[in-house]
């Protein structure tokens, strides 16, 4: 395999893996902040116990999120040096600002939150989790601005003297329409996952408590546990339901923007080979044996409706490919692409683009998109069932089906996010910067396949071991249940044991 192919795999594997931790970090930190706020305001112990339990899960996840995130920052330079050189004037800014504004905020304040229970007054301590959580939200804004620029490179011009893209309008980069709709979509997805975690943990624990009771009336500690878990389940389920609606809504807008800016991504994702009016939405697609695709189970007009175009027209990839081969720009209004074309750069890339075929992998994007929607929808159904089964003071009976549902609640939204990113990133191919720089031209020329291959294997091994450890600790923490808590006090005794210590 070439260094380029290996570098693509490395980016795919490390990014998908990193993004298992990102949504949990963003949304679970905020839900924990909400739980702790409820405790500070009401003094009700159940909120403190929930804060501690889900705080612990959040931190196990956060540790892995931080270290896999560092790989991401270094990887651009290591594997994609021409990309980094070419776009750094624009792309570097959100990355550096992310570190400066959000990484410091989340790292310093989460450190204070973890160790500060007996050092800080209650309300100040509460502020630290909020600041840490806000840090993760700001981080997501910057990184999605950066990624959205790769999908829609606005606010930049090509400088033939320096041979790179240069910033012409930072405001346009910040208000990129792709970023404005992608950010809420990703955040809703994150809350689906975190809501699913609350729901899954609480639902499983309630079934366990029900089994322990064995028909008896709950009292004492077990009654307290049930009361707390019941609240967590409701909070989690409603978070999941609202966030799912939000992601469907924002995803719909994303599609309408995609038709305009990345029409071939839409054509591939929907397996539309020839331009159609009132485009139908296909459920199945398969290779037709002659290089194209066939589709089946078509719902008339639905894709056209989703695309929101005149007469529901969706362009087919055959027409688009022919146009691109003739030198037409992917987005005729893009200043940077126009500049690159005028300077003869796109002509220079034409052989690579022809080899890559101009169109992203159709079946991968097609099914990733449908799996994403399917997973999200199933999680939504689980949330509704869980609310019904625990309503009016009922306790879930448990059993294999229930346990499975409680596993689905967090994992399906999480995996939906992975598939969503596959559509976004694979759908952008063969471009690394849509319509401007092909991925094949962006790779580091000085890096050998041996180096990328070696690091790829070792990352995979380390990440694999990390996943086993992480999941093991997650399950152990869930099984040990809600901790017994004492009211935290600011300690003045020099020799007193720390209320939290590693």
Partner 1 sequence: MNFSFNLPTEIPSVLAVVWFLLVAVLWIGYLVLEGFDYGVAMLIPFLGKNEKEKRVLINSIGPVWDGNEVWLLTAGGAMFLAFPAWYATLFSGLYLPLFLVLVGLIIRGVSFEYRSKRPDTKWRAVFDWCAAIGSFLVPLVFGVGFANFIIGLPVVTDPNNASLYVIASDAANVGVTPYFWELFSPFGLLGGIVVVVLCLYHGLLYLTLKTRGEIQERAKGLAKILGAVAIVGGAAFLVWQNLAYSPLFLSGLSWILLVLAAVALIVSWLTIGRGLAFIMTSLTWLLVALGIFLKMLPGLGFRDVGGADVPGINVFTAASTDGTLTIALVAALIMVPIVLAYTIWAYWVFRRPISVKNIPDDALAAA
Interaction residues for partner 1, span 34-93 (CB under 8 A): 52, 55-56, 59-60, 62-64, 66-68, 70-71, 73-74, 76-79, 81-93
Q: At what angle do helices 400-426 and 220-261 cross, to 10 degrees?
A: 30
What are the phi and psi torsion angles at 118 (to 5°)?
-105, 10
Tell which one of 116, 153, 304, 435 touches partner 1 (CB under 8 A). Answer: 116
CB atoms within 10 A of CB 137: 18
**Region binding partner 1 by CB under 8 A among candidate stretches 99-107, 261-269, 274-282, 302-310:** 99-107
When the beta carbons of 166 and 313 are compared against partner 1, the nearer one is 166
- Report yes or no: 198 and 235 within 8 Å, Cβ to Cβ: yes
Q: What is the dihedral of CA 153, 158, 164, 167, to 10 degrees?
A: -60
Could you give phi then psi for residue 439, rounded to 5 degrees? -60, -40
Stretch that binds partner 1, among 182-190, 320-328, 373-381, 490-498 (CB under 8 A): 490-498
Q: Are 330 and 267 in contact (CB under 8 A)?
A: no
- For residue 6, what are the contacts with CB-CB under 8 A and spacing of at least 6? 449, 452, 453, 456
Packing angle, helices 400-426 and 362-390, rounded to 10: 150
Among 16, 40, 45, 164, binds partner 1 (CB under 8 A): 164
Cβ neighbours, 10 Å, residue 23 = 29
CB of 203 to partner 1, least distance (A): 23
Q: Which of residues 428-487 bind partner 1 (CB under 8 A)?
A: 444-448, 450-452, 454-455, 458, 462, 466, 469, 473, 476-477, 483
Nearer to partner 1, 98 or 425 (CB): 98
CB of 179 to partner 1, least distance (A): 17
Report in angstroms how near the CB of residue 200 gets to partner 1 at its nearest.
20
Binding mask 324-353 for partner 1 (x = CB under 8 A): ------------------------------
Q: Residues binding partner 1: what is the number (CB under 8 A)? A: 89
In the region spanning residues 244 to 303, those forming contacts with partner 1, defined by CB under 8 A, are: none
DSSP classification of residue 276: B
Asked if 9 touches partner 1 (CB under 8 A), the answer is no
Please say whether the beta carbons of 173 and 155 come within 8 A: yes
Residue 18: CB minimum distance to partner 1, A: 11
Q: Measured from the CB of residue 162, what is the shortest distance to partner 1 in angstroms?
A: 7
Beta-carbon contacts of 370 under 8 Å, excluding residues fewer than 6 positions away, are: 283
Maximum distance among all alpha carbons in the chain?
80
Note whether 396 and 210 are within 8 A (CB).
Answer: yes
| Bridge pairing between strands 281-287 and 293-299 | antiparallel
State the minimum distance, in angstroms, from the CB of residue 108 to partner 1: 4
Q: Is residue 120 near partner 1 by the rule CB under 8 A?
A: yes
Q: How far is CA 45 from CA 40, 50, 483, in A?
A: 10, 9, 11
Q: How far is the CB of 331 from partner 1 (least distance, A)?
A: 23
Task: Give 297 or 471: the residue with its C-beta nearer to partner 1.
Answer: 471
- Give least dist CB 453 to partner 1, A: 12
Residue from 17, 103, 366, 412 in contact with partner 1 (CB under 8 A):
103
């Amino acid at each position: 395999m070439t260094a380029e192919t290996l570098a693509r795999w490395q980016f795919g594997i490390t990014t998908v893996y990193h993004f298992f931790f990102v949504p949990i970090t963003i949304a679970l930190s905020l839900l924990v902040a909400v739980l702790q706020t409820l405790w500070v305001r009401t003094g009700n112990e159940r909120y403190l116990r929930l804060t501690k339990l889900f705080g612990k899960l959040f931190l196990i996840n956060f540790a892995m999120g931080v270290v896999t995130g560092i790989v991401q920052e270094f990887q651009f330079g290591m594997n994609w040096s021409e990309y980094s050189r070419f776009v750094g004037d624009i792309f570097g800014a959100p990355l550096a600002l992310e570190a400066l504004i959000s990484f410091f905020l989340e790292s310093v304040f989460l450190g204070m939150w973890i160790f500060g229970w007996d050092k800080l007054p209650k309300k100040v301590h509460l502020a630290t989790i909020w600041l840490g959580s806000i840090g993760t939200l700001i981080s997501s804004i910057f990184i999605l601005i950066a990624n959205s620029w790769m999908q829609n490179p606005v606010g930049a011009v090509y400088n033939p003297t320096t041979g790179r893209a240069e910033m012409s309008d930072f405001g346009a980069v910040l208000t990129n329409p792709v970023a404005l709709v992608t950010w809420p979509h990703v955040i809703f997805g994150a809350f689906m996952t975190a809501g699913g975690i609350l729901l899954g943990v609480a639902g499983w624990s309630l079934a366990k408590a029900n089994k322990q009771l064995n028909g008896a009336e709950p009292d004492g500690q077990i009654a307290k546990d049930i009361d707390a878990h019941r609240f967590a389940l409701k909070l989690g389920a409603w978070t999941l339901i609202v966030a799912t609606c939000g992601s469907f809504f924002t995803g719909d807008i994303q599609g309408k923007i995609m038709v305009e800016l990345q029409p071939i991504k839409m054509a591939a994702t929907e397996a539309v080979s020839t331009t159609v009016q009132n485009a139908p939405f296909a459920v199945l697609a398969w290779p037709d044996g002659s290089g194209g695709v066939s589709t089946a189970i078509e719902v008339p007009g639905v894709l056209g409706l989703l695309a929101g175009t005149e007469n529901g027209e969706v362009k087919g990839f055959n027409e688009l490919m022919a146009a691109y081969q003739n030198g037409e720009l992917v987005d005729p209004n893009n200043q940077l692409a126009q500049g690159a074309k005028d300077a003869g750069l796109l002509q220079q890339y034409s052989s690579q683009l022809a080899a890559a075929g101009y169109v992203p992998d159709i079946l991968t994007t097609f099914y990733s998109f449908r799996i994403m929607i399917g997973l999200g929808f199933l999680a939504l159904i689980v949330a509704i069932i869980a609310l019904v089964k625990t309503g009016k003071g009922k306790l879930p009976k448990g059993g294999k089906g229930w346990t499975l549902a409680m596993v689905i609640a967090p994992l399906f939204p999480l995996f939906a996010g992975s598939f969503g990113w596959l559509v976004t990133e694979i759908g952008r191919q063969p471009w690394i910067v849509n319509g401007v720089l092909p991925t094949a031209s962006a790779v580091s020329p000085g890096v050998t396949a041996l180096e990328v291959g070696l690091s790829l294997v070792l990352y995979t091994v380390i990440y694999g071991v990390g996943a086993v450890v992480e999941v093991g600790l997650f399950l152990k923490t869930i099984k040990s249940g809600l901790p017994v808590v004492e009211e935290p006090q600011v300690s003045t005794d020099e020799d007193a044991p720390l209320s939290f210590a590693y």
